[in-house]
Structure 1
């Protein structure tokens, strides 16, 4: 059973954005306060993570519906698949928009060389945020790929049998990246915030 329904909205073709780890090399400009610069970078990164939480939440719900269907729990899969599918394009757009902002600030935290305890806290948070960004990027990539596959099937690029094959493969692979993001996000929730 495929989860595509004729007549549903299509996903726009949004290319994945490169989001490097926090600290990809940018010098702190003269006069820029290291602490506030790092805090701004972390705030932008956490906006990306907030967008990832929403998108990955929809992806996890989409995947879980099939899991429950196969287990005989029989959730209202059509409604779940439709709702999450229709949310997908906005999930990707929000994530990409926040990633663009982060790209303009990336590297500030890693350029900080001061060793105050406050800055150590910020640098530690940046490391944990970087891990969460990487896992979020992978899980959002899965959601992006599945959205593209659904749109391609709707457009008639391939038949229902091929769509089902792609869906089963996506469903089978999905837990790895979803669970990795959830674990990284849980670590982030116990990591002290960067205070300016």
Structure 2
């Protein structure tokens, strides 16, 4: 929790980013009661901009349908971050399940917003989000509009890697777009230095 000893955590985060031991960071609004717009998050955003690396923001409800946490990570707050920090790459983790359509409509025109697929093939997420076909359609629509802004994720070991691969492979998109999702977009976004 960066808020407990913020100065020490920011120094540590700076060192980890500088030495390339990490290639971005993740915030968990909803796990803890804070919004992404909380001023205490600003040093994190500024460091990510300085190093040209993304911040991943947890979104959606938690298991057991805890909708209370979603009020903290609603994409409407993430949009404010993207507007305030246009050079910051923001990854929306879990596509704000189960309200994936809402997330897409709200964020589709913001180029600095990315999406990861983590958790999207989980049976609980699929059921709560309208089923496999609906999730597939939302992903297809997103990839067709923003082919460079979707990165593969699974939320392993909680979720199945195989099911997430199957979800991406089921998309009616080009193999080139699938290659981007599976690796190329992440290599570029996280500056992994893999040719």
Question: Which structure dedicates a bigger proportion of its chain to helix?
Answer: 1
Question: Which structure dedicates a bigger proportion of its chain to strand?
Answer: 2
Larger Rg: 1
Q: Same fold (TM over 0.5)?
A: no
Scaled to the shorter chain, the TM-score interval is: under 0.3
Normalising by structure 2, report the TM-score.
0.27
Normalising by structure 1, report the TM-score.
0.27
